Structure formats: structure tokens, C-alpha cells
């Protein structure tokens, strides 16, 4: 399915917060392993406990949960970098463990641009004391089907602000940036 007018609902997470074997359901890379269930209909309790334990022990760093202050810093950094990369961003939200964005990308691979934004956020957080890994790999790019879908995604992303996420809308602009001169 192609994206309506190039719009995507982008999702991504922090390191170690949704692992293979998770009781909420999970997907293996390229679906190499068939997994029953998903987050709406999770697999039977205990089915993947062994795998989850193995994955937890193989992690190089503890799972990352962002404080409200770190959400603001990282969220602003990602919005700034995406604006600098000429990504049309309508809405962005970052909570303790994942982010959502409604964006249209120029003729550059979207994952590359999201990666640059994540890298910028990482550097901004290390400047204030964050250590270790920050982001999970491979953000998910879900194509927007039509105008109605775009409006629903926009509201969905901003609704995360009601439950503790740092939320941003294009209406706010990037006023926190220092103006030249």
C-alpha cells in the first residue's frame, strides 16, 4: 500500500522496552518465527517466557525509560532535526518508552532521516548525563491511506500528551530554538 500524498505514521521505541518473547505479543524480524497473538490478542501466558528471559540476559544495557525532562529534550531534538532535514511534520509525541510522528518525507529514505533525528536526540541527552543506549532499532513506517486517516493519526499522536507524553504540533512551531543574530 502506498502512502497517501507521502504521509506516514512513524513509531519507534526506546532500547529494551519491547523484546522478543514479550507477553504483550511481538514480531520477529521479517517474521522468521511464527508468533501467536499481538498486543490486542496476546499469546497464551508463559508461552515465550524462556525466550524473553534469554533476550533480557543478552541485553548490553538496561531498558530505557525517559523521564519527563528527558522526553522534552529528546522530543525537541527530534523535531528540530526533522525540520532541518525538510521533513514535513504535523505531530510528534514521545513518552517514557516510545514515540509517534505524522510526517511526510522528501526524496530520501524515511528510516535514514528518522535515524538522524534519533541520533541528534541521543547527543542532546548525553549532554545532560544520559549514558548507554537510547533507541531501539528500526522505526515502523505505516502509510497513511487518505485524508480521514491522516486526521485520525494526527489526533492519536497528540492524544499521547494527555497521558504524560511530550507532545508537539506543527501549530506550535519550533520556538524554543535560539534565533540567529
139, exposed or middle or buried, with CB in 10 Å at 0-12, 13-18, 19+? buried
pLDDT at 5 over 50: yes
Structure confidence by residue, pLDDT tens digits, 125-144: 999 999 999 999 889 999 99
The CA–CA distances, whole Å, from 167 to 34, 60, 159, 164, 172 equal: 35, 30, 8, 9, 10
CATH fold, domain 4-14+65-170, is Alpha-Beta Plaits (3.30.70)
pLDDT at 121 over 80: yes
Structure confidence by residue, pLDDT tens digits, 105-119: 988 899 999 999 999
What's the pTM? 0.83
Instruction: State the pLDDT confidence band at 76, using cuts at 50, 70 and 90.
Output: very high
The domain ranges of the chain are 4-14+65-170, 29-58
Structure confidence by residue, pLDDT tens digits, 25-75: 666 666 677 677 676 777 778 887 887 677 777 778 888 999 999 999 999
Amino acid at each position: 500500500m502506498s502512502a497517501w500524498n507521502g504521509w506516514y505514521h512513524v513509531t519507534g521505541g526506546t532500547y529494551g522496552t519491547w523484546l522478543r518473547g514479550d507477553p504483550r505479543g511481538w514480531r520477529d524480524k521479517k517474521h522468521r518465527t511464527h508468533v501467536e497473538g499481538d498486543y490486542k490478542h496476546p499469546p497464551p501466558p508463559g508461552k515465550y517466557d524462556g525466550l524473553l528471559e534469554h533476550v533480557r540476559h543478552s541485553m548490553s544495557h538496561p531498558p530505557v525509560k525517559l523521564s519527563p525532562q528527558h522526553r522534552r529534550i529528546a522530543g525537541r531534538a527530534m523535531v528540530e532535526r526533522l525540520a532541518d532535514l525538510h521533513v514535513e511534520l504535523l505531530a510528534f509525541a514521545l513518552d517514557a518508552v516510545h514515540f509517534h510522528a505524522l510526517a511526510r518525507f522528501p526524496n530520501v529514505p524515511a528510516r535514514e532521516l528518522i535515524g538522524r533525528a534519533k541520533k541528534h536526540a541521543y547527543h542532546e541527552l548525553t549532554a545532560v548525563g544520559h549514558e548507554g543506549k537510547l533507541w531501539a532499532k528500526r522505526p515502523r513506517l505505516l502509510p497513511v491511506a487518505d485524508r480521514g486517516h491522516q486526521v485520525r493519526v494526527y489526533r492519536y499522536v497528540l492524544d499521547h500528551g494527555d497521558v504524560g507524553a511530550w507532545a508537539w504540533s506543527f501549530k506550535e512551531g519550533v520556538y524554543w530554538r535560539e534565533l540567529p543574530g
